[in-house]
Amino acid sequence: MRTQVGIIGAGPAGLLLSRLLTLQGIDTVVLENRSREYVEARIRAGILEQHTVDTLVAAGVGDRLRREGLEHSGIHLQYPGTRHTLDFPALCGRSVWVYGQTEVTKDLISAQLDGGPPLLFEVSDVTTEDVDTESPRIRFTDGDGVAQVLECDAIAGTDGFHGVSRPVVQAAGGRVWERTYPYAWLGILADAAPATDELIYAWHPEGFALYSMRSPKVSRLYLQVDPSEKIEDWSDDRIWDKLATRFALDGWEINTGPVTDKSIVPMRSFVSAPMRRGRLFLAGDAAHIVPPTGAKGLNLAVADVTLLATALVRLLSERWTDLVDSYSDRALARVWRCTHFSWWMTSMLHTSGDDFDAELQLSQLRRVCSSEAAARELAENYTGLPLDA
């Protein structure tokens, strides 16, 4: 087999990269080690920045997003006795959209399978070779158990945090930065109408809670828990109880309903540099992880592949290397901005049990809720900075 760009991983990064390259006349093959059903059911992100929405619409995969996505013009920040609304359009002229990552993935997969380039599920034993040359290749076993070789001009490592691409880049020299936070998020999906117009980010002495949603009938809620907690120890009643405590506000109540999904996610920041070795390019979670508090992971993956698609078109259609040469530095500048913002939101909202930390957090929250300059800084970062900022 031969293609121009071999893409490892069919998450949002790999699928969107394939779509953007196809629209520019570049051949791709996408290799995914999980099944289509598994990839489409994986519940993750929910908030899309304006830039992400614009990119999906321009790529011709935004019809359902435009029909079903919910435009949100702000968030509520809460601490005991106070629920304050940040009005994003007033602060920075942009908004965000609620549209699940599962839906983005389904839209991209259906566009790809509807006459798009090959997308192979359930492949295994994926390895890369000769990435330092102009003719790298990918070896893998296909879904029927047959060993295959895919000859490429370039390879995209969009295989997420546990993929095979990052170690190949790091083997040639590089470095990683990592911070593991002393808390995790317990997340539920519930068939319950959201009791709030905007997402609520709530600070509480017992720990952080987030009220999000997927549609007018489905709520997505998170609780800060200790990373050692086991999901089996959290009955639905115990979860609803804690949520009611952490979101408590006079005259207001959460809506409960059947819980359809429940899991615990660890929180970490991770950056791997450079994001390129020869003709192997990393994008998305393969190169970096942010804690979910800033809602940045999916948006960062989209920003990476937007830069990478342009750089690969320039390389493969025009034979210019300038944009592939600057790809890693340009992508990493945005990665570090989002890494800082996600760390800052996480640090402001998650309790450590230390009273001094709690007073600093409350002081920061009061500042964001009373100073337009402080609120604007949050709003600009949350809704997404320009691509090269």
- Under the rule (CB under 6 A), what is the footprint of ligand PHB? 45-47, 199, 212, 220, 292-293, 295
| Cβ at position 160, least distance to ligand RFL in Å | 3
Answer with the entry of ligand PHB, ligand RFL, none that 225 interacts with (C-beta below 5 to 8 A by kind). none
From the list ligand RFL, ligand PHB, none, pick the one residue 275 interacts with, judged by a Cβ distance below 5 to 8 Å according to partner type.
none
211 is catalytic: no
Q: Which of 181, 183, 201, 211 is catalytic?
A: 201
Minimum distance, C-beta of residue 267 to ligand PHB, in the bound complex (Å) = 11
Tell me, what DSSP letter sits at residue 292? G
Do the strands 5-8 and 154-157 form a parallel or antiparallel pair, or are they unpaired?
A: parallel
- Of 295, 338, 334, 339, residue with least CA distance to 98: 295
* Residue 62 in tokens: 């935004």
Decide if 222 is catalytic.
no
Shortest spacing between CB 80 and ligand RFL, in angstroms: 25
4 versus 342: smaller Cβ distance to ligand PHB: 342
- Angle of helix 355-370 versus helix 322-349 axis, rounded to 10: 110
Catalytic residue, from 242, 288, 296, 350: name it.
296
Query: In whole angstroms, how close is the CB of 85 to ligand RFL at the nearest point?
Result: 19
Partner whose binding site includes residue 34, from ligand RFL, ligand PHB, none (CB under 5 to 8 Å by kind): ligand RFL
The binder of 293, among ligand PHB, ligand RFL, none, by C-beta within 5 to 8 A per type, is ligand PHB
- Cα distance between residue 257 and residue 351, in whole Å: 27
- Angle of CA points 128, 129, 131, to nearest 5°: 95
Beta strands in 73-174 (DSSP E): 74-79, 82-87, 96-98, 119-120, 124-129, 137-141, 147-151, 154-157
Task: Please tell me which residue in 181, 211, 222, 382 is annotated as part of the active site.
Answer: 382
Residue 382 annotated in active site: yes
- Active site annotation includes 76: no
How many residues are given for the chain?
Answer: 389
Quick one: 97 or 203, whose CB is closer to ligand RFL?
97
Task: State the catalytic residue, choosing from 72, 76, 288, 350.
Answer: 72
What DSSP character marks residue 293?
A: G
- Alpha helices (H) in 231-371, listed in sequence order: 236-246, 297-318, 322-349, 355-370
Nearer to ligand PHB, 314 or 340 (CB): 340
Is 296 tagged catalytic? Answer: yes
Q: Which is nearer to ligand PHB, 46 or 62 (CB)?
A: 46
User: Which residues bind to ligand RFL, rule: CB under 6 A?
Assistant: 8-14, 31-34, 39, 44-47, 101, 126, 158-160, 163-164, 187, 265, 284-285, 292, 295-299, 301
Please, how many CA atoms are within 13 Å of residue 8, restricted to the half-sphere of its CB?
Answer: 31
CA neighbor of 280 nearest in space, from 148, 127, 126, 168: 168
Please say which residue, 187 or 278, places its beta carbon nearer to ligand RFL. Answer: 187
Which residue, 240, 262, 246, 247, is CA-closest to 186? 262
The two tokens of residue 283 are: 């994008």
Residue showing the smallest CB distance to ligand PHB in the complex: 46
Q: From the list ligand PHB, ligand RFL, none, pick the one residue 159 interacts with, judged by a Cβ distance below 5 to 8 Å according to partner type.
A: ligand RFL
CB of 220 to ligand PHB, least distance (A): 4
Provide, rounded to whole angstroms, the least separation between the CB of residue 210 and ligand PHB.
Answer: 6
Are 279 and 254 in contact by the 8 Å Cβ rule? The answer is no
Q: How far apart are CA 318 and CA 342, in angstroms?
A: 37
User: Using CB distances below 5 to 8 A depending on partner kind, what does residue 220 bind out of ligand RFL, ligand PHB, none?
Assistant: ligand PHB
Residue 16 near residue 57 (C-beta atoms within 8 A):
no
User: How many Cα atoms within 13 Å fall on the side-chain side of residue 347?
Assistant: 13
Catalytic center residues:
72, 201, 292, 296, 382
